[in-house]
Structures are given as C-alpha cells and as structure tokens.
Amino acid sequence: MQLFIYFSEILGRKVADSNYNIIGKLCDLSMSPSNDVFPRADAIVIKKGFFRKKMAFIPMGDVQKFGKTIVLKIDQSEIKFESLNKGCEFSLGKVILDQQVVDINDQKVVRVNDVHLLNVDSQLYLAHVDVGLRGLVRRLGWSKFIDTLVKFFSPQSPYLTDEELISWKSTHVLAVGKVGNVLRSDVARQKLARIPTVELADIMEDLDVFEKLSLFKTFNADMQHRVFADMAPHEKEELIEQLDDKEASHLLENIPADEATDLLHDLPPEKRRLLFRHMHSKTSKELRKLLGFAQDSAGGLMTTEYLTLDQDDTVADAIQKIKDNTDFAGNIVHLYVVGEKQQLLGATSLRRFINEDPKKKIIDTVYPNNIFVRTDDGMEEIALLLEKYKFSSIPVLDEANVIQGVITSDDVMEELISLTWTKYKDQI
C-alpha cells in the first residue's frame, strides 16, 4: 500500500460493493471541515450514469479496500443514489482541484494541478497540493508517455524528479464566486488565524489586484480590520477602490478615524461621497469634519475616538469606563473630563487615579495644567508638547475650548518618519 497517492489517480476508479458488483466511479472526496492541520476525507463521492447522473456519499468507514477497484464493506442495496447535486461543504474536486491557492511561503498565487493525499490506516488526509508540470501532465493522462519520452532523450532531466508540492499547511484557497465565498472562508479561517496579520498584509502586497481582493474577502470582519490596519497606505487605497462601496465604507467605519480620514483624503471626491452615503450618519459627519482640516495640522492628525467623563463622575466610574472599552481602537489610558458643552475641564490618566479612593471625584485627579493644542496648530508644536510633558496623547480644542479630538504620539511619529524619509531621500 502506498503511503501517498494522488487525487488524480483515484479519480474515476471503479467502486464495487461487498459482493464485487461494480456500482459506479469515484468522482470526488468530501473532506471534513474540522480545523485539523491536515483535513481528513470523511466520505467518497461516487457517481453512475452519464446522461442522468446520480451521486452517492459513502462514509470512509464503509470502504474496505483502496485498490485498483475500490471495494466497499456494504451491499449496493444500502447505498442511496440521489440525482440532485447537493454537494458537500468541502469538496476536494470543487474547492481545491484546479482552483487558485496562495502559497504562503513563497507569497504567490498558484493553480492546483493535483492533490497529494496521505493514506494511513485506510484514511485519506490532504497533505500537499501539486502545482507542478508533472501534476498537469498526470491530470491529462499523459504521464507514462511523457516520462518515457523524457527518459529516452534526457535521463537526467529534472522534470522526472521535480515534484512541486506545497504543504497544505502553507496554502490558502482564494475565494471564488460569491456563493462559494462563504463556505470556503470557514474552512480556511482557522488556518489563517495562526498567521500574524502583519504577514498576511505582506502576502497581500505581492498579489495582483483581484487576487488581493479575493484573498481579503476570505477573511472574517475582524480579521479584515486587522489586516487592513497593517497594510501599506497605497495598498489600502487600491483595496478601497476595488471593494464595492458598501464594503469599503464598512471597513472605513471600523478603523481609527484619523486613518480613515487619511485614506479619504486621497480618494476622488465622487468616490468619497458614495462612501459617505453608506456610513452611519454619525461616523460620516465626524469624518467629514476631520477631512476639513489640513492634513498636517492638529485637526488633520487627530482622531475622534477618545473617552470622556462628566465632571460629576467618580474614580469608580472612570475605571468602569476603561473596563468597558478595552477593545476600543483609540487610547484608553487618558480620559478627558468635559463640561456640558463638551468643553475641556481637564485631562487625567489611569496612572493618576488608579490608586485613588473610588468615591473621589474624577475632576480632582486632573493634571494641574490644561495642556492642549488648537485645530490649526502645526505638527512641530504638537511634537514639542508631547515630548515636554511626556504624554502619549494630547487633546485638540477649538476656539470655544470644545474638545474636537485627540492626537496620539504614534500619529505624530508616523508623520515625522515620513518627513525624515523625504529629507533623507533628498540627501542620497
């Protein structure tokens, strides 16, 4: 018994029942959609008839022998053939064979010519996908002919020994079509969850537009937001342009507002308007406001995601607020105490009140000086203030001292790095 067999070798093999009556041909394998590293085949799919095709699923447990003819343990009367092609969740023939997969190690998209199955304890496991020329020739049924030919002319040819197999562990199936999408992403998700999002973003960078899009669509919403956050700015822009407006605006709503603003800045006004149409009115109003500021001013750099407290709140309220917002995208260490009209009364930080009496008013823990910038302040002033007071974020106020947003040090850092780069590039 071979340890490894190719899917193409068993495709079309005759299937016989326990009395050795031929009942049909193997036409597919149904894989178990569990989150094992190597999916196991849980049933073979056999078909009979040509014009009126009928199919049957036979659990692997009922297979007696995987030889030239596949022999079953059961009698043909026990097999129920159905004419409707209901398909299974994870069909090897439909989901893997001939489809495009991402080779995660080499970061490129390849087409699956054949599937390499591991055969142990009369179970079949999906071990590798074959993306090489040999796989292609094997599928065409010319393997022996071509092998003889190559052996005759050039016995040392690398063609004879080069198998281009990629471990299933390092492949990811691209989404195909709209309906297929949903099923396939379920199978793939667990595997992708093990790959850091930064690396996924890197992989995305090497794909072409549509490959990128179909890979992106296999991610679930949470993963989409995280991968998106790790992508390079121009990559984000390209993706936003490719996604349909609804998906794109949904994505923009779920990333930090300052990043969304930067992206919107670079889009044509027409597209921007379409995207706003699909957003919640609150988000779109905020983003519109942020867009109104110059990109390198405090107003352009700030995010509208920050935590505020009323002046009557206590330390316990503040701690509860932080606890409620641990998955909040913005800064949760700094809290801003505001009056009735959202005017800033003072800023405080976790460090200042964590050890205080929970009943103490939060307004009594604020920093002595009110440190802030105005919406039109330049980046240098912000950087200097952040450095001087060693703050990780600083509030942005308008003329009436109403809080407009917050700038965090990483936003400034990002801007400074790109400035330094431009200067550095000029020197060389």
Q: Which residues bind another protein (CB under 8 A)?
A: 97-100, 108, 110-113, 131, 136, 139-141, 176-180, 208-210, 213-214, 241-242, 244-245, 269-270
C-beta of 111 vs 282, nearer to another protein: 111
Please, what is the minimum distance in Å from the beta carbon of residue 243 to another protein? 8
Judged by beta carbon, residue 98 or residue 310, the one nearer another protein is 98
Cβ nearer to another protein, comparing 195 with 274: 274
Shortest distance in whole angstroms from residue 140 CB to another protein: 6
Helices (H), 125-207: 133-140, 143-153, 179-193, 197-205
- The rounded distance, in Å, linking the Cα atoms of 92 and 72 is 20
Query: What is the Cα–Cα distance from 128 to 364, expressed in whole angstroms?
Result: 64
Which residue, 140 or 417, is less far from another protein as judged by CB?
A: 140
Nearer to another protein, 64 or 99 (CB): 99
Q: How many CB atoms lie within 10 A of CB 29?
A: 27
Cβ of residue 209: shortest distance to another protein, in angstroms? 5
Nearest distance in Å: CB 110, another protein = 7
Residue number with CB closer to another protein (276 or 336): 276
CA 201, chain centre distance (Å): 8
CB of 244 to another protein, least distance (A): 6
Residues 416, 383: contact at Cβ < 8 Å?
A: yes
DSSP string, 289-357: HHHTS-TTBHHHH-BS--EEEETT-BHHHHHHHHHHTTT-SS--SEEEEE-TTSBEEEEEEHHHHTTS-
CB 382, CB 408: distance < 8 Å: no
Minimum CB separation from another protein for residue 389, in Å?
A: 43
182 vs 384, beta carbon nearer another protein: 182
Other Cβ atoms less than 10 A from the Cβ of 222: the count is 9
Distance CA 72, CA 84 (A): 23
**How far is the C-alpha of 87 from the C-alpha of 83, rounded, in Å?**
11
Closer to another protein at the Cβ: 155 or 177?
Answer: 177
Radius of gyration of the chain from its Cα atoms, rounded to whole angstroms: 30
Least Cβ distance, residue 295 to another protein (angstroms): 22
CB of 98 to another protein, least distance (A): 5
The phi and psi torsions of 309 (rounded to 5 degrees) equal: -130, 155
Between 27 and 332, whose beta carbon lies closer to another protein? Answer: 27
Q: How far is the CB of 284 from another protein (least distance, A)?
A: 19
Residue 92: closest CA among 134, 138, 39: 39
Quote the DSSP letter at residue 399. T
The helix or strand, by DSSP H or E, that contains position 28, with its residue range, turns out to be strand 22-31
Question: 367 burial class (0-12, 13-18, 19+ CB within 10 angstroms)?
Answer: middle
Tell me how crowded residue 393 is: count the other CB atoms within 10 A of its CB.
23
Nearer to another protein by Cβ, of 18 and 107: the residue is: 107
Distance of closest approach, residue 247 Cβ to another protein, in angstroms: 11
How far is Cα 157 from Cα 373, in angstroms, rounded to an integer?
Answer: 71
Beta bridge partner(s), residue 171:
103
